[in-house]
Structure formats: C-alpha cells, structure tokens
Structure 1
C-alpha cells in the first residue's frame, strides 16, 4: 500500500511517500481502509522534535518547515518513552472497516468509522488512561490502510463527507474535553485563543453549543470568518494589551474562563483577566511553551488550571453524538492528496487558513 512515512525528527524531507506492507489486525483490532485524514499540530510537533523539553521557543513557521536544531532534540514526543521510527502519522482517520482481528464481531466489517485517536488503558484512573496516541506512538492514518483497537474505530452515521468527518476527531475532542474540564456553562464568558485554528474554531462552536459567550482571539484578517463561527466578540492577535482589551469588553468583573491553545507571552494577561475563582485550560503552547507566571494571580484569586492532552472516552462519544445530530459543523480550509502531505504541512505551518486541512487518500 501507499503511505507517507516519517523517518526521523526534522524537516519536510523526513516525510517519504512510499510503499509499505498492508498491516494485519491483531487480536481485538480492525483494519480500516482510510479515505481521509486531518492534519494536526501533533503531526508537526512530533516531526520537528518540538515536544522536546530542550525546546523553549514558539512553534515558528521555520521550525515547522525545517525542524528544531539537532542539539535540542530529545525523543520529541509528549510520551518520550515510546516514539520510534519509521512512523506513519495521522490522528484523524476516517474510512471503512475491511477486516477484523480475533475477538471482533464479523458484522463490524463494512462500518463507516472515525478513529478516536486516544489509545487508553481503562484500568487506570479516568484522566490518566491515555497511554498512546494514534499516529504518534503507533502508526496512524496517512496510509491507504491502518489498524487500531476495535473500540477506537467508532461507527458514525452522518450525511457529511469523509473529508468533512476527518476534520473533527483530534481538534474537536480536545476542544470538548477542555470545556468539560472547566465545566463551561450557559451564560458564562470564555476567552478562546487561536480561534482560527482547528481546536480554537472547535472551541467557538462547542462553547456556543453550551450557551456561553465567546471572546475570540485570532489574526486580524480572520475576524469575519471567526465571527461567522459564532464568536460574540473579537480581539486581534496583533493587539499586545490583551488584558486591557478584555476589560473593555467585560469591565472589571473579569471573564469566567479561558480556553487557550497558544501560551506564550500573553499567558500572564489571560490569568489577570480571569475573575476570582476563574478557570483556565490549556491544550497547546504554539506561541511559546515556557511563559512567565505570576503565582499571585493563581493563589490569591483562587484560580483553577487544567491541562488537556488526552480526552476521555466519554468526551469522544459525546462528540460523535453532536456530529450525528448536526449540532456542530465541519470547517475544512483545504484538502491535499496523500502524496502531497509535505505541501499540506507547509500550508498548515503558514497559519493562513481558518479551520482544518485534510489529506485525501
């Protein structure tokens, strides 16, 4: 079969379109014929080595294209014990089950499925069950066929195309888990950063679904599209005084919550803008992973802070329900054929798009 294989940390040259054997489903696994797969930050982070604790900078376009410096790499994945090469990436696979392993019911053959990318050990406590990630610690969806545990191949009944379905799994399950952790409620105000990207645009829709008021932060040129997604207020990313901009919208009372995917130099301003007992949740740090924090904001305002890397199974189940009931809509910015994955990564790191980039297979 054809696949794009990652042969090490580095630049786009590490992605090679080649022939590899069709995988064989093991016990409890299914074989999926993949038709589409979304591109995510985790693909770029892993390829470039940006997850290494030695990397302190933002995920710049240059790093996205060339990788981090050799002396900064240290098993660059969020689970530093299990990444190995060669590796087939791609977390957001959609397709049909064409074969099964031992222990999987035969009637699953032919099902249209989305892959839940978080591979879990259900014997562990709920928030620590995510032990592997599809397309990172095990081979993923940038291939004509892929295998995954049967429980992670989730049947979907929807009129959406496979390309549209491939825009959901990673970004939307992460975004929904963020809102689950902070228990966002109707009438509350949430700041959404990176609002034009996959997780950020998902956060807008999912927060509006809950009846919350959304203040979105994104590049000035993307305001129209971000507002069309449902954002109530918009702050240009180019504005440096974020806390002041928020105060101009909500006054001195502060905001209830922050759903952040950028980190970086505005991190402290986000904490400052929260009301007493406000909630902050992060699922990304593309603007810088090592921001300065004033612990007095955390301590004396009784703030709550969460990190999200591995959504719970219940969150993915909820997401599938939202899709099937038409409560959220896909936002596909551009598609590329599998053999053009390098170009898809170039488009992704340019950050010129709104929504998701999807690879067709």
Structure 2
C-alpha cells in the first residue's frame, strides 16, 4: 500500500510518500481501508518534537527543530512510522476473534485508546504511538472501530475523532450543563469549533474568541458572543463572568482566563498552541476556588456520545478543504497558516 511515512523530527522533508507493507491484523483487530484522514496539530507537533519539555514556544514556531527523545505524545516517538490520528474508512478484514459480519461497515476510529481500561489513566493514540491513518489501510483493535449510520461524507466523518473527541472530553469533565456560560478561546480550529457546538447542544451559552476575519463563521456555528483576539477581554466581559473556560490556546492570554472565571469556576485544557509556558497567579486560582482540569485520555462516555450526536443530527463538522494524501505537505502548510475555519482532510488513493 501507499503511505506517508514520518522518518524523524524535522521539517516537511521528513514526510515521505512511499510503498509500505500492509499492516498485520491480529486476532482481535480489523483492517480498515482508509477513505479519509483528518489533519491535526498533533501530527505537526510530533514531527517537530514540540511535546518535549525543552520546547517553550508556540506550536507554529519551527526555528529550533532537532531530534528530541521526549518529543512525542507519550515521550518517545516510534520513528519511522505512519501518522494520522483521524480515520474514516471501511472494514475489509477482521481477525479470527472478531465478528466477520463487521466486514463492510463504514467506521470511524477512536483516536485515544485506553489499553488498561477506563479506570486507569494510561492511553495510547492512533498515529502517535502506533501506525495511523495517513495510508491506504490501517489496522486497529476492533473495539476501537465504531460503525456510524449517517448521510455524511467520509471527509466530514474523518474530521470528528480527534477534534470532537478532545472537545467532548473537556466539556464532559468540566461539567458543562444548561444555563452555564463557557468561554472558548481559539474558536475557529477543529477543537474550538467542536466545543462551540457541543456546549450549545447542552444548553450552555458560548462566548468565542477568534480572529476578526472569522467572526461571521463562528457566529454561524452558534456562538452567542464572538470576541476578537484584539479585544480587551476583561474590559469587554468583566471579571467573574464565565462558569467554565475551555482553552487550547494558553500562552500570554492565560492569566486573564482565570480572572474571567466565576468563583468556583473550572478551567479545562488539552493544548497550548500559543505557548506551553504560562504565568499563573496562584491567588487567582485558590482565592476563587478554581479547578484546573488537564485533559488527554478520553473517558468511556466520550466516543459513544459522539456517535449518538452524529446519528441524531445534533452536530455537523466544518470541512475547510480536502487534499490528496500525497499532498500532505501543502495541507500542513495551509493548516499552519491558521487562515481556515474547521478541518483539513486528506483523501488516500482508492
């Protein structure tokens, strides 16, 4: 089969379009013909080694690319390997311990897997810890491939797993419910746009932060109020106006996120695209009884929730553009420009 193989930490030259063997299919696995694979920050960050504790810059900073032994999602990255955290496809083979009737199902794959059960925090990720969906075929445990009944395109389905799974996990852990006010920085990205929809379906109010040119797009997603990154957050909203902040941005804006929270508020995060090193005034945290929630491993309810939302027509992703899989370099360049709203999706040759 054809695949994009990431050969190590570095620039776009580390993405090689090549012929590779079909993946092995274990007795409890299924082989999926990939029909669409979403593009995420995590694939770029892993290639750059951004997860290393030695990196202190925003995810877009590529000035200091070097090999880092702790630069992957779970420390060491298994180079060379196939990235691709989002997968939509068709089951074409099932291991001997799997119901053979599943062959032919259209599925999406749960990106975040909990190999030791949901009572344990350990997690592994498709396309970060083992070969992923930037290929014509991928093998995954059958329990991680979820059949979906809907009229969506493959590209739309491929935009769901990582972004919406990450978003639903944060919304769930933060306890978002009807009547709450939720602040969403970085609202135009895959995760941010998902958070807005997921917050609104729970009956909460969504306040979004985005760039000026994307205001209309974010309003159309259902945000109740849209601010720009240039707005003075405290002057516009005032202190203590949000029940929850769900923030994948971090960086210099972090201190004001805590000030905007109400007493007893909750701050949830699963990323830091504007920079991982932030200034924390401990008084803002403890005097207001704020809870800080780090979110990586998905809880058991997250992916079944998403399948039910899709099949009930309660959410709809935004696909900004699609590219042939072999054009991944252009897709990642366009992604890093951050001028889009929604997700970029790669289409393997069929």
Shorter-chain TM band: over 0.9
| Structure-1 residue corresponding to 2:203 | 211
Per-residue deviation, residues 326-350 of structure 1 (Å, max 9, x unmatched): 0001200011000101111001100
Q: Distance in 1 between matches of 2:116 and 2:139?
A: 20
Q: Structure 1 length as normaliser, TM-score?
A: 0.94
| Structure-1 residue corresponding to 2:24 | 24
| Structure-2 residue corresponding to 1:242 | 233
Q: 2:260 aligns with which of 273, 289, 293?
A: 273
| Structure-2 residue corresponding to 1:70 | 66
| Structure-2 residue corresponding to 1:183 | 175
Q: Structure 2 length as normaliser, TM-score?
A: 0.97
| Structure-1 residue corresponding to 2:93 | 99
Q: Distance in 2 between matches of 1:293 and 1:74?
A: 28
Unmatched 5+ residue regions in structure 1? Answer: none
| Structure-2 residue corresponding to 1:117 | 111
Q: What SS is found at the alignment partner of 1:292?
A: coil
Q: What SS is found at the alignment partner of 2:227?
A: strand
Matches within 5 A, 1:215-294: 215-239=207-231, 241-247=232-238, 252-294=239-281
User: CA RMSD, aligned part only?
Assistant: 1.3
Q: 2:75 aligns with which of 80, 103, 125?
A: 80
Q: Distance in 2 between matches of 1:22 and 1:311?
A: 29
| Structure-2 residue corresponding to 1:149 | 141
Q: Is the 8 A contact 2:118 2:300 kept in 1?
A: no
Deviation at 1:119, TM superposition (A): 1.8
Q: Distance in 2 between matches of 1:324 and 1:360?
A: 23
Q: Distance in 2 between matches of 1:351 and 1:74?
A: 28
Per-residue deviation, residues 56-106 of structure 1 (Å, max 9, x unmatched): 01112x52xxx73327x333112114x211110111111111011231111
Q: Distance in 1 between matches of 2:8 and 2:176?
A: 40
Q: Is the 8 A contact 2:240 2:259 kept in 1?
A: no
Per-residue deviation, residues 287-336 of structure 1 (Å, max 9, x unmatched): 01010100111111000110111212311110011001100012000110
- Asked if 1:311 is matched to 2:306, the reply is no
Q: What SS is found at the alignment partner of 1:70?
A: coil
Q: Is the 8 A contact 1:243 1:270 kept in 2?
A: no
Aligned length: 348
Q: Distance in 1 between matches of 2:329 and 2:25?
A: 28
Structure with the bigger percentage of helix: 1
Q: What SS is found at the alignment partner of 2:301?
A: helix
- Asked if 1:323 is matched to 2:310, the reply is yes
